[in-house]
Structures are given as C-alpha cells and as structure tokens.
Amino acid sequence: MQPVADSLAALAKLAETPPVSLVAAAFAAAGHELALVGGPVRDAFLGRPVHDLDLTTDATPDQILAIVAPLADAHWDIGRAFGTIGARIGGETVEITTYRSDVYDQVTRKPVVEFGTTLEGDLLRRDFTVNAMALRLPSKVLVDPSGGMDDLLDGRLRTPSTPEISFGDDPLRMLRAVRFTAQLDFELDDETRSALAGMASSITHISAERIGEELSKLLRSDRPRRGVELLVESGLADFVLPEVPALRLETDEHHHHKDVYEHSLTVLEQAIDLERERADEGAEPDLVLRLAALLHDIGKPATRRLEPGGVVSFHHHDLVGSKLVKKRLRELRYDNDTIAAVARLIELHLRFFGYTDSAWTDSAVRRYVRDAGPLLARLHILVRADVTTRNRRKADRLSFAYDDLESRIAELAQQEQLDSVRPDLDGEQIKRILGLKPSREVGEAYRFLLELRLDEGPLGEEEATRRLHSWWTARRLAD
C-alpha cells in the first residue's frame, strides 16, 4: 500500500480527470448528489490501476439518463431495474446507480431493489468495508461510515454489518471474500473467517453461473493460490469445487507419495509465472491454462492404488481427470470451448513424460503437435509447470528434455509447417483419383494419407497418389 498522502492525492487526481469531473459538474448543476464509490476509491488508495468508474447518486434512473445523455457518446439502461445507467463518455465507461437499500428475501437471496435516500445508507449495505467508501463530488469529501480506511491500512477484510447478516443476505459474498484475499493480499478478520466456515453450505443457494464467474475472477487474479487455500480451509470448496479438497490424499506408514494438493497449488503458481514470461505485454490472464493447472490431477483420488513395496500408482488419472473436469465445469456453466480446452490439456498433460524414457521419432513429435492442436503453447507451459520435484538433477533432466522437444517441434515446423499438417492430397483429389463420390471411404483414405504424412513427412503428390492406389487396391481385395 502506498503512503496515505499519496493515496489521497491519487484519489483527488481521479476525481479531476474526465469523464468524472464532467459528470460531477453536470449532476451538481442539476442539483443532485454524486460520489465515486467502491472499487475505484479502494483501488486509488491501494495504488492499483482503476478500470471501472462506479458512481452513485440520489437521482432516479430517469434523472440520471436525462443528465448523462447529452454528455455521452453512447448510453444504455440494461440495469435500469436495479437503478443503474451506463454510459460511454470521453472514451471511458461509467456506471451510475441510484442509492439503494436492498432487502433480501432470504429464499432466493436475490435483492428486492429499493432505492435509498442517503449515501451513508447505500454504503452500509455493501459487501466489505474497503468497498464501502465513497468520494463526494465535486467537493472531494471522503465518506467512510464503517471504517474502511482503517481496514485498508491494516490489510483487513471485514463486513460493514455482522458477517452473518451480510453473508445471509448474499452468500456469494463469501466467494468474494475468498477472491479479495488473493486479489488485494488482505487477511479476513477473525469474525468474518469464522462466519465463512460456519455458513459455507449456504453457497448452494447461489446459481452455478454466479459461482463459476467468481471462481474465474479468483483464478485470473495475480496470485490465486492464497484464495484457493482459503476456499479449501473454509469448506466452501466442498460445495463449489469438491475435486480440489479431494486432492488431500492420506498416506500410511507403508505407502507414501507426493502431496497432490500442495503439488497442484505449486503447479498453478508455476504455470502463472511461465504464462507471464511467454505472454505478450498486456495480455489477459489465461483462464483455460489456470483451470487446467489447478485441476490437472483431479483424477488421482479415483485412480490411486496401493501397490506392494510401498508403491502408489495413479494409472490413467489423466483420462479420468479429463472426464471429471468436463462434468464439473459443465455444472458451473462454463462455455463449451473452455470446457473442451481444459479437458484436452488434462488428457494430454502426461504425454511428454514418455519422451524422457525413449527417443521419440519425428512421427511421434508430429503426433504430439497434432493432438495438442491450438493448445500446444498452453501444453508447453502446463507440462513444464508440472515438474515440482525437489530433486534438482531430476528437475534439470526433465527441463532439458522439454527444451529438446520444443526445439525439435520448432525445427519440424520450419521444415514442414507442422502447425497445419495435412495429407499430400485433399478430399477433392482423393475423390477424383479413386473415382469416388462423397462417402465414408473418402474419409478413410484421407486418414490413411494423414498417417503417412505424420509417419514419413511430405511425400509429394506423385508418391502420395501411388500409395493411395496401393492402399485402395489392398482394401478392395480384403473386402
């Protein structure tokens, strides 16, 4: 956290920048209150980039729209029922919301929206004290009815009301607490931590979509490990992502193996570090990669076998894990592309380890690339991150082996345009050469030529045609 004087200066500077100053002047001229609220105030104090401009006012949605419409390049009222009007002003997006004093029905946990009359009342209904501060505009007076400033300075996360009331109103706030510990590097106060554990089961009242969105925000944070640990320690993970606490496998005096839970957290951290090293500047956090890193070993509990001699095996945990992650991410309402990509990475994450056992042929390298497809760059990161051994010689051997594999992939790609491997003949040529109409046989011929391409590299059209005729003749004789 930056010094308080610098924080106040940063907040004042934010208030003076367009479109904030422009909107503040317009509301003042119309005789309405206006304040920057929540995240922008918090992040300015912390010296973090401010991306969202959230404001609150005593004006009704209709009055808000009348004030901002002349200033805006575009505006929308999709949140009008909740008192929110959005606008694009001077290239920035702002959202302005009427003071609220929501009442929760305690059944669906959805708020019955009621508009409030005071800024202080609006702030006290918010989730955490560090999000319950506002800067009145244009006077630049800080309003902090629940001690959010002290909590910011102490790195403490607590609720404006009792956590039982706050979490009872909206259990999703428990997941937000988990996320903020990772995102802001804050500690929960004892009362909030206790309520989190005691009320964990109430998260089941929240829709799967909202839970999935919050988990995604957690994993996109700079250092999500701390949040994942709290998710597990509090018991929330038992209800939202049970595969993660299940990784805490017990060992006995005869059978020992790596701590799969700690290993998975380390893989997540290492994958994020590698992601940053390899990503373009300004790239968004890679949710697919981070999900795959955290969940890559979730097939181990179901496949663990205690073998003679103290050996523990997890045969086919890659395939089992791929199936399990599909089921979990579907239940959390992730999109199909994300589900397919995460499952495929988990399915493939062990493939490389055969490379260290015996020299791969060029054909095997081509298949590795073909099977990874557009996920190859992510697979490179996941496989490297999966090495968490403290045995330096073993870690170096695996690292050097993957260096070699990546080098061979690059060389083959340069020689053969490996990233778009196709047979030497396309479907139209196959149909013409064999005199076929569109049919299953065309697909079989295509796959035959693709296997040749992977095994032997480019053949050229003439040789591919000769091989195709030979294959077709042998196939017809076999029939």
In DSSP terms, which residues pair with 76 in a beta bridge? 86
Give residue 379's pLDDT.
95
Give residue 207's pLDDT.
94
Confidence of residue 254 (pLDDT cuts 50, 70, 90): very low
Same domain, 89 and 61: yes
CATH number of the structural domain spanning residue 71:
3.30.460.10
- Domain hosting residue 383, numbered range: 248-420
Same domain, 87 and 139: yes
Instruction: Encode pLDDT of 158-185 as tens digits.
Output: 999 999 999 998 999 999 999 999 999 9
Same domain, 351 and 412: yes
Q: How many domains does the chain have?
A: 4
Confidence of residue 256 (pLDDT cuts 50, 70, 90): low
Same domain, 196 and 334: no
pTM score: 0.82
Confidence check: pLDDT of 259 > 50 = yes
CB 396 within 8 A of CB 271: no
Span 8-34, mean pLDDT? 92
297 compared with 353, residue with greater pLDDT: 297
Confidence of residue 357 (pLDDT cuts 50, 70, 90): low
In DSSP terms, which residues pair with 89 in a beta bridge? 92
CA distance 58 to 388: 55
Name the domain boundary from 226, 241, 256: 241
CA distance 453 to 421: 8
3-state secondary structure 419-460: HHCCCCCCHHHHHHHHCCCCCHHHHHHHHHHHHHHHHHCCCC
298 compared with 282, residue with greater pLDDT: 298
Same domain, 290 and 167: no
Name the domain boundary from 96, 127, 151: 151
Same domain, 14 and 76: yes
Residues 6+ apart with CB under 8 A from 198: none
CB 170 within 8 A of CB 163: no
Closest to 113 (Cα-Cα) out of 131, 127, 98? 98
Q: Which amino acid is at 454?
A: L
Give residue 471's pLDDT.
93
CB 145 within 8 A of CB 129: no
CATH number of the structural domain spanning residue 197:
1.10.110.30
Confidence check: pLDDT of 3 > 80 = no
Name the domain boundary from 241, 259, 276: 241
How far, CA to CA in Å, does 33 sit from each of 85, 146, 334? 15, 20, 40
Same domain, 24 and 129: yes
Give residue 235's pLDDT.
97
Instruction: Encode pLDDT of 125-152 as tens digits.
Output: 999 999 999 999 999 999 999 999 999 9
Confidence check: pLDDT of 255 > 60 = no
Same domain, 75 and 206: no
CATH number of the structural domain spanning residue 309:
1.10.3210
Angle at 404 between CA 399 and CA 410, to 5 degrees: 125
CB 27 within 8 A of CB 34: yes
Same domain, 69 and 21: yes
Instruction: Encode pLDDT of 210-228 as tens digits.
Output: 999 999 999 999 999 999 9
Confidence of residue 79 (pLDDT cuts 50, 70, 90): confident
Confidence check: pLDDT of 257 > 60 = no
232 compared with 409, residue with greater pLDDT: 232
Instruction: Encode pLDDT of 40-70 as tens digits.
Output: 999 988 888 888 899 999 999 999 999 999 9
Same domain, 169 and 146: no
Same domain, 265 and 403: yes
Same domain, 404 and 443: no
As a whole number, the mean pLDDT across the chain is 90
3-state secondary structure the chain: CCCHHHHHHHHHHHHHCCCHHHHHHHHHHCCCCEEEECHHHHHHHHCCCCCCEEEEECCCHHHHHHHHCCCCCEEECCCHHHCEEEEEECCEEEEEEECECCEECCCCCCEECCECCCHHHHHHCCCCHHHCCEEEECCCEEECCCCHHHHHHHCEECCCCCHHHHHHHCCHHHHHHHHHHHHHCCEECHHHHHHHHHCHHHHHHCCHHHHHHHHHHHHHCCCCHHHHHHHHHHCCHHHHCCCCHHHCCCCCCCCCCCCHHHHHHHHHHHHHHHHHHHCCCCCCCCHHHHHHHHHCCCCHHHHCEECHHHCEECCCHHHHHHHHHHHHHHHCCCCHHHHHHHHHHHHHCCHHHHCCCCCCCHHHHHHHHHHHHHHHHHHHHHHHHCCCCCCHHHHHHHHHHHHHHHHHHHHHHHHHCHHHCCCCCCHHHHHHHHCCCCCHHHHHHHHHHHHHHHHHCCCCHHHHHHHHHHHHHHHHHHC
Q: Which amino acid is at 308?
A: P
Closest to 223 (Cα-Cα) out of 176, 273, 161, 155? 273
Q: Is 309 left (phi over 0), alpha (psi -120 to 50) or beta?
A: left
Pairing mode, if any, of strands 92-98 and 84-89?
antiparallel
Confidence check: pLDDT of 191 > 90 = yes
Instruction: Encode pLDDT of 377-435 as tens digits.
Output: 999 999 999 998 888 888 888 888 888 888 888 888 776 665 567 888 999 999 999 99
